[in-house]
Amino acid sequence: MPFGMFRSNYSPILADFGSSGVKLVQSTVGDLPTIAAAAFLPFNDEMRTRPIEERFEFLGRELPEVLRENHFRGNRLVVAPFSQHMLVQHIGVPAADAERAESVIRLQIAIGLGCDPDALIVRTNHVCETNRDGSPKVEHIAFAMSRDDVMRYVSLARRAKLGVVGVHGEISALVHAFDHVNRRGEDDNIATMYIDLGYGGTKVAICHGSKLVFAKSITIAGRSIDARLSELRRCTVAEARAARLAEGIKPMRIGVPTSLPSAGAMSADVDNGMAMLRVATARAESDNNSVAAMAATAVDRRGAGNAPALGAALPADTARSVTMESRETVENLADELSMCARYHGALFRDRRIDRVVFLGGESRDTGLCQSLASGLRLPAKVGDPMARFLVNGAAPKGLPDAQSSHPGWAVACGLASSPTDL
């Protein structure tokens, strides 16, 4: 009987495996969820460069003690695996094969990887009907992972006396972190671009309300910028990273609102390679006020003040732009993001992206976010999915920087709303 009551009051242990370390969260469930336990198990600079097998060995030694010290409860575990273990790909399935789309997609991915289709676990997300090369197709987003890699996490969990009950990609999880914001039917009219700026990679999701319609993983990220700075400044990557964050961070504290900047207020355009994006998104600039009004209406439905998970608007402080040393790398990332926006525009010619929400640990670098947002010409915020929980209760001792925003914890928070279907 107590075990049954426990299961109804707490989520499973939620684990986000990232390039910087593993974020662990456990929440209460109900209308006013709180964070019951949290911890961050970091990788040092040397561990980040080591083979992934060594990281698993390190986690196998450290994870049980971290769970015990931070008072995690139960033995169920939901995992967002390392990004290199999850393939994300858009695939157009011929309309004639629409009813067996999952098997067609599994076969296409297996052929591309040169493996047995039965060696893969594939989940698909229907997007829309489209037309490619004159033939009707159905657009899907495929998330694929090898069964052997899934078993790595199952084996790691067993060492900590846990059982894996769910495995979800980072993109799927971060979208779930905003389910509560997009729960009304009219929210489907708002298209949001979520940009998760990590250290090892950047994840992009575009949603119509809570429906995922575009997903992509980009290799350019914080590590790419630090490597370039390290080369130019002739210092270590760790020293370059510390200097970049010190130059670019402007702390955003919980409960300190800022106004939503219009696209016209954003300057310091990203130069070469962005001309097509400016033309394609120029019409969004004239509608920023109406978009802000739509967002305000959505917030008003949920009560007074701003939706906590959407976080704070980026300050229109053009003095904190990226350095000339990192401009080329940032422009490359901006070009990738612009291609994501154009792909979405090709799929949905009558829809445009209304707003950008930055997430991930690297979104603490406000200079980086400002540069990317100015190129996209869209109102932008730095999200904080953790705030949804912290407004209902105190932060546990294991949560770093409890008084600051936590955009890097979006995936871990989203796992709380992800299904336990493994």
> pLDDT per residue over 116-154, tens digit each?
999 999 999 999 999 877 899 999 999 999 999 999 999
* Residue 167 banded pLDDT, cuts 50, 70, 90: very high
Write down the mean pLDDT value for the chain. 84
- Average pLDDT in the 5-24 region? 86
Q: What is the DSSP code (8-state) at residue 160?
A: T
Classify 224 in phi/psi space as left (phi over 0), alpha (psi -120 to 50) or beta. alpha
| Helix, coil or strand: residue 12 | coil
* pLDDT of 258 higher than 50: no
Per-residue pLDDT, 244 = 79
- Average pLDDT in the 333-352 region? 96
Q: What is the DSSP code (8-state) at residue 26?
A: E
Q: Which residue has the higher pLDDT, 284 or 326?
A: 326
Beta carbons within 8 Å of 203's beta carbon, 6+ residues apart: 83, 170, 171, 174, 194, 195, 196, 215, 216, 217, 218, 360
* pLDDT of 251 higher than 60: no
What is d(CA 270, CA 335) in angstroms, rounded to the nearest whole number? Answer: 9
Beta bridge partners of 22: 17, 41
- Average pLDDT in the 46-64 region? 92
HSE (side-chain half, CA atoms, 13 Å) at 388: 28
* pLDDT of 109 higher than 70: yes
407 and 383 Cβ atoms separated by less than 8 Å: yes
* Residue 48 banded pLDDT, cuts 50, 70, 90: confident
- Average pLDDT in the 38-44 region? 95
Percentage of the chain lying above the pLDDT 70 cut: 82
Per-residue pLDDT, 306 = 62
* pLDDT of 64 higher than 90: yes
237 and 48 Cβ atoms separated by less than 8 Å: no
Structure tokens at 207: 């949603």
What is d(CA 169, CA 216) in angstroms, rounded to the nearest whole number? Answer: 11
- Average pLDDT in the 244-260 region? 50
Per-residue pLDDT, 321 = 56
Structure tokens at 109: 């991915």
C-alpha pair distances (Å), 191 with each of 135, 176, 350: 27, 15, 12
pTM of the model: 0.84
Q: Which residue has the higher pLDDT, 30 or 171?
A: 171
The highest-confidence range among 44-53, 163-172, 267-276, 401-410, by mean pLDDT, is: 163-172
Least confident of 82-96, 225-239, 263-277: 263-277
Per-residue pLDDT, 136 = 94
Q: What is the DSSP code (8-state) at residue 377?
A: T
Per-residue pLDDT, 392 = 92
What is d(CA 419, CA 168) in angstroms, rounded to the nearest whole number? Answer: 9
Beta carbons within 8 Å of 56's beta carbon, 6+ residues apart: 152, 156
- Average pLDDT in the 366-390 region? 91
C-alpha pair distances (Å), 270 with each of 188, 246, 315, 318: 30, 22, 17, 12
State how beta strands 211-218 and 202-208 pair.
Answer: antiparallel
What is d(CA 363, CA 162) in angstroms, rounded to the nearest whole number? Answer: 32
Structure tokens at 315: 């300050």
Structure tokens at 351: 């829809």
Per-residue pLDDT, 345 = 96
Dihedral of CA atoms 178, 179, 184, 189 in degrees, nearest 10, equals 60
> What is the secondary structure of 257-281 as a DSSP string?
--PPPPGGG--S---TT-HHHHHHH
Q: In this structure, what are the phi and psi dihedrals at residue 135, rounded to the nearest 5 degrees?
A: -120, 140
Per-residue pLDDT, 308 = 81
C-alpha pair distances (Å), 319 with each of 250, 268, 371: 12, 9, 11
Per-residue pLDDT, 266 = 34
Per-residue pLDDT, 316 = 63
- Average pLDDT in the 395-411 region? 92
- Average pLDDT in the 13-40 region? 95
* pLDDT of 80 higher than 70: yes
Per-residue pLDDT, 59 = 97
Q: Which residue has the higher pLDDT, 296 or 230?
A: 230
Per-residue pLDDT, 31 = 87
Per-residue pLDDT, 310 = 86
18 and 26 Cβ atoms separated by less than 8 Å: no
What is d(CA 385, CA 31) in angstroms, rounded to the nearest whole number? Answer: 15
What is d(CA 56, CA 227) in angstroms, rounded to the nearest whole number? Answer: 25
Per-residue pLDDT, 104 = 96
135 and 142 Cβ atoms separated by less than 8 Å: no
